Amino acid sequence: MNMVCKGILAGASGLAALFLTQMPVWAGSDAERIAEMQKTGGCPRCDLRLAELRFMNFEGGDFSRANLREADMKEAVLPQTNFMRADFRRTEAERADFRGSDFSDASMRSVDLEKASLRDATLAGADLRDADLNASIIAGAVFDGADLRHAMLVRAVGPGSSFAGAKLDGANLERIDLQNASFKNARLRDAKLDRARAVNADFSGADLSGVRFVSADLSGANLTNTDFEGALLRNTRLVGADLTGAANLDQDRILNACGDDTTKLPRGITLMTCSE
């Protein structure tokens, strides 16, 4: 073997060693791994694929850029934890407690967060396509710029949450609590918000084309400069809502929706008056 080949192989070996140093693969049992992570305060850049981390419990850890793909994190208690850019694809985290944790730019496609607590968590820029967030607690959580296309948020509890600039095409938000939430400039094409409670929510500038607002409460909502192309408003409550500048509203698709004298509507659109 000539000296050039030997040099190339030596360089490749060095790079491989460096990569392994940056992404450690833990040995031993999962119980041992959990104990070690609790002792060291996390495991940034670690390879924890398929790990059994159920019930892991400590606060303020660092798992930034960790690979937690398909790990079992059911009922883990990890508040105030750094998961920035971590890989949570198809991770099972039902009923987990991630209050105040940071998932910015994390890869979370098809993650299972049913009944998990994400109160005041940050998920800005995260990929949450096809995620299960049914019955999750997302009050005060920030999803700005996140991709939630076809995500499930049925019966989620999210007052004060923010989805500014997020993509929610085809998402299911039926019976969600969105009081004082923000969807400013978000895209919700063909999303379902049947029986959603979005009192005082901000949808200004949002793309609401094809959205279903059946039996939804949008009292006091900011719906200015929105696009309602193909949207359905049936039995929708719009008391005090502001639809100034809303485009493509179809009177034929506004069925038994109601408002009051404080509701602001585009020219040509009428509503029945809500009963008390």
Q: Which of 2-11, 103-112, 228-237 has the lowest mean pLDDT?
A: 2-11
Task: Indicate whether 183 pLDDT > 70.
Answer: yes
Percentage above 90 pLDDT, the chain = 87
Check whether 181 has a pLDDT greater than 60.
yes
Average pLDDT of span 264-276? 93
Question: What is the mean predicted confidence (pLDDT) over 91-115?
Answer: 98
pTM attached to this predicted model: 0.89
pLDDT on residue 163: 98
Quick one: average pLDDT of 187-194?
98
pLDDT tens, residue by residue, 10-59: 444 444 444 334 444 444 458 888 999 999 999 999 999 999 999 999 99
Q: How far is CA 48 from CA 33, 38, 65, 99, in A?
A: 9, 14, 11, 21
Q: What is the model's pLDDT at position 260?
A: 97
Higher pLDDT, 114 or 25: 114
More confident call, 11 vs 60: 60
246, amino acid identity = A
- As a whole number, the mean pLDDT across the chain is 92
Query: What integer pLDDT is reported at residue 32 of this predicted model?
Result: 87
pLDDT at 31: 86
